[in-house]
Amino acid sequence: MKHFAYAKFFAFMSLFLFTACTVEPPELLKVGVNQWPGYEPVVLARDLGYLPQKQVKLVELPSNTESIALLRAGRLDAAALTLDEALHVINLGTELTIVLVFDFSNGADVLLANPTLKNLADIRDHRVGVETTGVGALLFHAALNQAKLEGDDVQVVYLPADEQETAYTSGQVDAVVTFEPIKSRLEQHGAHVLFDSSEVPDLIVDVLAVRTDQLEKQRENIFQLVQAYAKARSYMTQYAKKSLQLMAPRLQMTSHDLQQTYQGLVLPSLSENIAYFSGSPSKFERHVHKVYDFMKHENMLHREMSFAHIQDKSFVMRVNL
């Protein structure tokens, strides 16, 4: 009987160890993020240790174009995108749900040109670099509208964000639609602003977009990301100077330039996020339809879309600082 009891014990332990070794590791939320001051609080959250490394991984990419490609391929579960980029992804057949608003651009996105182009209308017949799958396309169309120009009136050059500086300084383009930190670097080469997002208020908004098919599977991980972001934003309020010093190097900016850039951004607080997602329809849903209508009018979207699952406010509602 004693030997039988030991046999049972060792059989149980063997089964336990085998099971422990074969248990699938917990899901890891992979989040695409590029260099943009509005997204930087998420990176700050990671650097401050607020982001649980076993639950959330930030995948740093050169531009949102790469984030979109990886998101569509299922190699990212979420990404920091502009709302129009999220609508573009949905239009291509990958359903996304917005769980957080990072910022509203109020002058931080720009159309820069070389000194020979004095006015916006001067871009006619010139080469303009645009990241056509990114927010650049949206701002570019808004600029064309203001200048009373058509797309055929300019020479559009497709340029991912990480190629824009080289293209401008080498003379491949005469103007470029861009954002920080590229904006500051191009201004050092003599470029000047012909048009910016303050002239189209509320059109450009940055959001955290999650693949809808991952929403329930990774609900806790998504919450941990939103919570960490909220803690980092609180840190930025409490330690403004230190925050700038921590964030500026990754953006290849000075603390002063980063502070100036934030003056062209509106970063909604946690309570403002909650208010923005509340109501039926919510202010966010009305904003979605505004951007959608603009993109449809400019032939940037090619099918009718449903927004039944466009937002989920449960994550910002759970945050407890």
Name the 3-class secondary structure at 84.
Answer: helix
Q: Which tens digits make up the pLDDT trace of 7-46? A: 444 444 444 444 444 444 458 999 999 999 999 999 999 9
- What pairing do the DSSP bridges indicate for beta strands 192-196 and 109-113? antiparallel
Q: Which tens digits make up the pLDDT trace of 220-265? A: 999 999 999 999 999 999 999 999 999 999 999 999 999 999 998 9
The interaxial angle of helices 83-91 and 64-72, nearest 10 deg, is 30
Q: Return the CATH class of domain 109-199.
A: alpha beta
Judge residue 197's burial from the number of C-beta atoms within 10 Å of its C-beta, 0-12 exposed, 13-18 middle, 19 or more buried.
Answer: buried
Query: Which pLDDT band holds residue 162 (cuts at 50, 70, 90)?
Result: confident
Asked if the model's pLDDT at residue 306 lies above 90, the reply is no
Q: Please, which residues have CB within 8 angstroms of residue 27's CB and are 6 or more apart in sequence? A: 217, 218, 221
Q: Please, which residues have CB within 8 angstroms of residue 81's CB and are 6 or more apart in sequence? A: 64, 67, 68, 89, 206, 207, 209
pLDDT value for 311: 97
pLDDT value for 27: 85
Q: Which tens digits make up the pLDDT trace of 42-67? A: 999 999 999 999 999 999 998 888 99
Mean pLDDT of the chain: 89
Residue whose tokens read 């020479």: 155
Q: Does 109-199 match 29-104+203-318 at the fold level?
A: yes
Domain ranges of the chain: 29-104+203-318, 109-199
Q: Which tens digits make up the pLDDT trace of 174-184? A: 999 998 888 98
Q: What is the pTM of this model?
A: 0.82
Structural fold of domain 29-104+203-318 = D-Maltodextrin-Binding Protein; domain 2 (3.40.190)
